[in-house]
Structure 1
Amino acid sequence: MTTAFANVPGAVVDDGVLRHLGNPLGEQRLLATGRAVAPLGDRAVIAVPGEDRLSWLDSLTSQALARLAPGESTELLVLDPQGRVEHVAGVLDDGETTWLLVDREDAEGLLAWLRRMRFRLRVDPRDASDEVAVVGGTTDAVAALGSELVWTDPWPSVAPGGWGYAAVDPHPGADRDWAEALLTRNAFEELAARAVAGDIALAGADAADALRIAAWRPRRSDVDERTLPHELDWLRTAVHLSKGCYRGQETVAKVHNLGHPPRRLVALQLDGSGSVLPERGAIVRSGDDEVGEVRSAALHFEEGPIALAIVRRQAPVDAELTVDTADGLIAAAQEVVVPPDAGATAGVPRLPRLGRRKAATPPV
């Protein structure tokens, strides 16, 4: 990862990621209003060239990609046979290559899996992170960087074939304008030089993540080994419910049509009096009962301390919740993202069990 941004005044760089420049809250405001861009060192890029790339990815993943037009942005999930989320990627095609934008810690595993699934098809996936780097911001701010490869986040619009569970209107993510440009490494270094010279304003990855959390937008880091896409409201942007078969499709359909996801995403407004944020995995409690855990948390420039958490479906929507922190329990007001009755969209009538049917009245 490049260290060029370490020379930007105030920069705090951790493991190649520009976390912030000394004012995370101010950076959020600049980023949200298009007055700054964020180098995303926590993102990686996989390139998939080859004539069969779109039909191949269509057959392997949750998204309908066979007819993806050049320049069109979407999102995919790779599921295991039980429908649990394994990998996540933003998708952009330029007419010759499909570009997958992924969280850095997920890139190696996704690439290895894709390469195992090539068989004799005309595809050749590779790690392109040494070729291009990712910079995020509003659509206009990112467009000004001059890249021809720009992925526009589809969240929270319900894509064709998708389904939204969150019933709030307007959705908290409706006003979030977010895009990610793929810059050549030379252009990325030039961006750093412009920032050092004061010619362009930057924001850190922490600011980008805070805006994401406020928009209820899931990412790969919110996933555990049991996560179903329904639980995070990911059917909106990453699942096409009427496309052909793919691994995990049966579970996706069954839960959506006949059942309910066993857990559900909630947004938490945290008590900010102690200025303490919970860690990922912090226990969420309802009284003395453990009902879930925190997946992401941030201090937002308008909303204060916020978090996304996954809780049991049966956890009451009006429960008074608390969250474990290093300084003790803090209060958390719950906002329902995925409601407890999500799913069961087929409306199949329930028949009584044979053993519970009333005995027929004998004829007189």
Structure 2
Amino acid sequence: MTASTTRPETPVSPLLALPGAVAGDGVDAPVAAHYGSFNGEQRTLESGEGFVDLSHHDVLRIEGPERLTWLHSLTTQHLLDLAPGVVTQALVLSPQGHVEHEFRAVDDGAALLAWTEPGRAADLLGFLERMKFWTEVTLTDVTTEHALVWRGGGEQPGRGYRLVPREQLTVFAEAAGPACGLWAFEALRIARGEPRFGLDTDHRTIPNEMGWLETAVHLDKGCYRGQETVARVHNLGRPPRRLTLLHLDGSENRLPVVGSPVLAGEKQVGTVGTSARHHELGPIALALLKRSTPVEASLLVDGIAAAQEVVVDPEVGRHFRPPRA
């Protein structure tokens, strides 16, 4: 069986025609950054209402009777008994345990649909194609057929991440509104301490550093590539780096550039990833810091003063967030 590995061009979202829509930039340019009030849109999402257009994300379909057992053997996630309709997250690691691919997926009983960051499907499909051998699976990029959205409302049916037919995106928006932009979604994601692959990670990232042991790694499943690194760091409890939430000085009328060095005094202790303006916390960012960096240390990132809030505990390497006072 063959795979379609040529990535279709991601269509510009028709929801950019909605009143007040302002397009994003960079890889997020095909969808709306906001619809006029990103602070109000954050509050809407926090209330459990509204939806976010994430239709610029790549989507791939994996079909065949062996799809779940095959993916189970290749990824960090336990997929043998994945029930239809349940969204899961998985990673593909290098032999050294570095994260090479990240995706979320849902199975419908006949095929698995997985979504990745914009522009990442071709690389993931290329890897999967090389690992097929004689496995009965068919791989297809279906980005032009399916649109990813996120809908507020927690664990209620039809809420959270879901895929809708791309041709029905406008109809979905009319029923699911109000529309909220990516800036609001990103601010809430960063505040939760959830990293975005390729922006909050680098080529050296291991799952233990990012808090992904809780969401994307099954510690009791069988062997997979890179498992030795994950298990060793988990058992020793000392990841080389740790994901941290930075509270930035609000007197600066800008946000740090992705990849900027994070300094403790004159010493570089990490790099910053994504950042946003939160409607309550003010400017915030995620950063990967050396584990040895004291959690109480004041930092400087791209010329902006920053204080730390623990996301990944430097001692145990498990996802940890003390309750906010």
| 1:332 and 2:306 aligned | yes
Rounded Cα–Cα distance in structure 2 between residues aligned with 1:259 and 1:308 = 21
> Aligned ranges for residues 338-357 of structure 1 at < 5 Å?
338-343=312-317
After TM superposition, list the pairs within 5 Å mapping 1:32-47 onto structure 2: 32-47=46-61
Match runs of 1:248-267 below 5 Å: 248-258=226-236, 260-267=238-245
Percent of pairs identical after alignment? 47
Give how far 1:201 is off.
1.4
Measured at CA, do residues 120 and 112 of structure 1 come closer, stay the same or move farther in structure 2, by a change above 3 Å?
same
- Aligned: 1:102 with 2:120: no
Map residues 93-132 of structure 1 onto 2, 5 A cutoff.
Answer: 93-132=107-146
Measured after TM superposition, the shift of residue 142 of structure 1 is: 8.4
Q: Name the structure 1 match of 2:215.
A: 237
Aligned to 2:322: none
Contact 1:257 1:343 in 2 (8 A): no
User: Partner of 1:11 in structure 2?
Assistant: 21
Q: Which runs of 4+ in 1 moved over 4 A?
A: 140-143
- The answer to whether residue 64 in structure 2 is matched with residue 50 in structure 1 is yes
**Following the alignment from structure 1 to structure 2, what is the Cα–Cα distance between the partners of residues 284 and 217?**
19
Q: Does 1:185 align with 2:161?
A: no
SS in 1 for 2:170: helix
What letter is aligned with 2:72? D
Corresponding residue for residue 272 of structure 1? 250
Letter in 1 for 2:255: L
CA RMSD after TM alignment = 2.0
Q: Deviations over 1:194-248 (max 9, x none)?
A: 39xxx93111112111110010012213110000110111101111111111111
Paired with 2:148 and 2:314, the residues of 1 have a C-alpha distance of 36
Letter in 1 for 2:307: A
Is the 2:12–2:56 Cα contact (8 Å) retained in structure 1? no
Give the SS at the match of 2:119: helix
Distance in 1 (alpha carbons) for counterparts of 2:216 and 2:154: 24
Query: Which of 135, 145, 148 in structure 2 is aligned with 1:134?
Result: 148
CA contact (8 A) 1:37 1:142 kept: no
Query: Is the 2:210–2:242 Cα contact (8 Å) retained in structure 1?
Result: yes
Which string of whole-angstrom CA distances, capped at 9 and with x for unpartnered residues, describes residues 163-202 of structure 1?
xxxxxxxxxxxxxxx711111122113245x39xxx9311
Matches within 5 A, 1:153-232: 179-191=160-172, 194=174, 200-220=177-197, 221-232=199-210
Which residue in 2 is equivalent to 1:166? none
d(CA) in 2 for partners of 1:3, 1:60: 33
Matched, 1:304 2:295: no
| Paired residue secondary structure (2:120) | helix
Separation in 1, partners of 2:59, 2:117: 9
| Cα distance between partner residues in 1 of 2:186 and 2:56 | 11
Q: What is the distance in 2 between the residues matched to 1:271 and 1:228?
A: 29
> Is this contact kept in 2: 1:142–1:181, CA < 8 A?
no
2 CA distance for matches of 1:20 and 1:191? 18
- Does the 8 Å contact 1:142/1:180 carry over to 2? no
The whole-number CA distance in structure 1 between the counterparts of 2:146 and 2:55 is 11
Q: Residues 23-34 of structure 1 correspond to what in structure 2 (within 5 A)?
A: 23-34=37-48
Of 267, 282, 303, the residue aligned with 1:289 is: 267
- Give the distance between the partners of 1:142 and 1:186, measured in 2 at CA: 24
Query: Could you say what secondary structure the match of 2:280 adopts?
Result: coil
More displaced stretch, 223-232 vs 97-106: 97-106
In the TM superposition, residue 273 of structure 1 has moved relative to its aligned partner by 1.4
Give SS of 1:104's match: coil
Measure the CA separation in 2 of the matches of 1:241 and 1:315: 27
1:34–1:138 CA contact under 8 A, matched in 2: yes
Name the structure 2 match of 1:354. none
User: Is 38-47 or 265-274 further displaced after alignment?
Assistant: 38-47
Cross-structure match for 2:12: 2
Instruction: Write the letter of the residue equivalent to 1:31.
Output: L
Change in 2 beyond 3 A, CA 1:109/1:51: same
- Aligned equivalents of 1:139 and 1:25: distance in 2? 18
Structure 2, unmatched stretches of 5+, are 1-10, 319-325
2:323 alignment partner in structure 1: none
The change in CA–CA distance for 1:13 and 1:191 in structure 2 (over 3 A counts) is farther
Deviations 1:67-99 (A, max 9, x none): 111122221000011000011111211111111
Counterpart AA for 2:239: P
Q: Larger Cα Rg: Structure 1 or Structure 2?
A: 1
Output the amino acid matched with 1:258. L
Distance 1:118 1:139, change over 3 A: farther
How far is 1:343 from its partner?
4.8
TM-score (norm 2): 0.88
Unaligned runs of 5+ in 1: 144-149, 151-177, 345-364
